[in-house]
């Protein structure tokens, strides 16, 4: 059935994409693979993208060697393709711009939109493919008039949050071979087939940061501006080392302790105009909670109507019951019961059961009609 169908898969050098490639071969597809190199891991760059200094080797270079080993095991051709310029201009500059606004961006969502499902597809057109595939934990239902993005079987690994802004057209020829498998089942297949990546640890974080100190990395591009750390009543606590280094609800890394400051403290607000970081010694401080937000830059698959849905405001967050009210074609108001640390810059992803309808980015956050000082 699939004998004459050609699939181009993104092979990252991890166990998930390795097993996805193996399954496609088993299903009879003609498979070729592409390793995407998105960052020049041997160099630092200035704000214009010019190299400035040598840097430590990124795991990405080691991942390529693992991808090559798996491709050789499966007897599939591996193409190594540079998307460095595309990543810099479409993903990393957005990442920096959001931090300049004291927002907390999620570059993985933009990477899926602009690199894995745009630049990758454009490149793969040269390979004359029928489908493209990725090792994401997600499903695409092709049975209807339009493809539908759906949650994976493994709810703990489901990645529809990161795929949520893909447009319908981007999903038309997409396969996710791992959609009906759990992570444990994927590992079992990798071990059974003795794949080179069978025991490899899952990657975490973003390659251009890797295991390095995040604040130090960010300071190469956005010099930190020190300011005052205060309580909401104006009481001075200490100096902070740049608002961009903190996020709402953060506990670790505040450097508060000793004397009157004993115990755990949490970031409860940021004021860009005065360069003030607000902290309180209460993980459930009322200022951390909101019940309304404005979501912008919406990508939606389906009818745009006011309705009750569920949403995620962070990747690992449990679904929240919400009501959406469209303000215009690209912006909506979402209301919900008290939710903690809904943070500007993060994605708000909307679901109708297991169907992922779309997403946008959190712009303004309110408790009733009071604007939270989050940016």
Residues designated as active site:
111, 207
Write the DSSP assignment of 280-297 as a string of letters: ES-TT-GGGEEEEEEEEE
Sign of CA dihedral 111, 50, 99, 57: positive
CB atoms within 10 A of CB 127: 14
C-alpha closest to that of 349 among 306, 375, 315, 372:
315
Q: Kindly report the backbone phi and psi dihedral angles of residue 64, in degrees, each rounded to the nearest multiple of 5, phi listed first.
A: -60, -40
Angle formed by the axes of helices 59-74 and 15-26, to 10°?
A: 20
Write the DSSP assignment of 225-271 as a string of letters: --EEEE-TTS-EEEEES-GGG--TT--TT----SGGG-S--EEEEEE
How many whole angstroms separate alpha carbon 143 and alpha carbon 254? Answer: 51
How many whole angstroms separate alpha carbon 109 and alpha carbon 91? Answer: 9
Distance of CA 277 to the CA centre of its chain: 25
Q: Count CA within 13 A, CB hemisphere, residue 31.
A: 28
Asked if residues 304 and 330 have their Cβ atoms less than 8 Å apart, the reply is no
How many whole angstroms separate alpha carbon 189 and alpha carbon 332? Answer: 43
Sign of CA dihedral 98, 99, 105, 109: positive
């Amino acid at each position: 059935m699939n004998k004459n169908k050609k699939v181009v898969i993104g092979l990252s050098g991890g166990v998930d994409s390795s097993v996805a490639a193996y399954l496609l071969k088993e299903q009879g597809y003609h498979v070729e693979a592409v390793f995407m190199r998105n960052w020049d891991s041997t160099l630092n760059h200035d704000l214009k993208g010019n190299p400035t200094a040598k840097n430590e080797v990124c795991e990405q270079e080691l991942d390529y060697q693992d991808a090559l080993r798996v491709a050789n095991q499966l007897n599939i051709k591996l193409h190594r393709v540079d998307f460095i310029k595309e990543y810099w201009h479409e993903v990393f500059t957005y990442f920096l711009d959001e931090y300049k606004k004291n927002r907390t961006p999620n570059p993985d969502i933009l990477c899926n939109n602009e690199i894995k499902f745009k630049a990758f597809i454009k490149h793969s057109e040269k390979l004359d493919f029928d489908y493209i595939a990725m090792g994401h934990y997600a499903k695409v239902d092709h049975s209807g008039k339009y493809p539908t993005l759906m949650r994976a079987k493994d709810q703990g690994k489901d990645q529809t949050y990161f795929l949520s802004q893909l447009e319908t057209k981007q999903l038309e020829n997409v396969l996710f071979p791992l959609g009906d498998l759990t992570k444990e089942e994927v590992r079992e297949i990798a071990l059974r087939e003795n794949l080179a990546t069978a025991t490899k640890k899952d990657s975490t974080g973003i390659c251009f940061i890797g295991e390095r100190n995040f604040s130090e990395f960010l300071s190469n591009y956005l010099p930190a501006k020190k300011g005052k750390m205060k309580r909401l009543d104006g009481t001075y606590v200490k100096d902070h080392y740049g608002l961009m280094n903190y996020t709402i609800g953060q506990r670790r890394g505040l450097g508060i302790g000793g004397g009157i400051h004993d115990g755990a403290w949490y970031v409860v607000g940021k004021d860009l105009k005065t360069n003030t970081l607000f902290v309180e010694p209460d993980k459930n401080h009322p200022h951390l909670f909101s019940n309304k937000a404005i979501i912008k830059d919406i990508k939606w698959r389906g009818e745009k109507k006011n309705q009750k849905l569920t949403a995620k405001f962070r990747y690992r967050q449990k679904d929240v019951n919400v009501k959406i009210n469209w303000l215009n074609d690209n912006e909506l108001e979402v209301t919900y019961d008290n939710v903690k640390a809904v943070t500007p810059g993060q994605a708000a992803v909307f679901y109708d059961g297991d169907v992922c309808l779309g997403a946008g980015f959190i712009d303004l956050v309110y408790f009733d009609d009071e604007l939270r000082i989050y940016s």
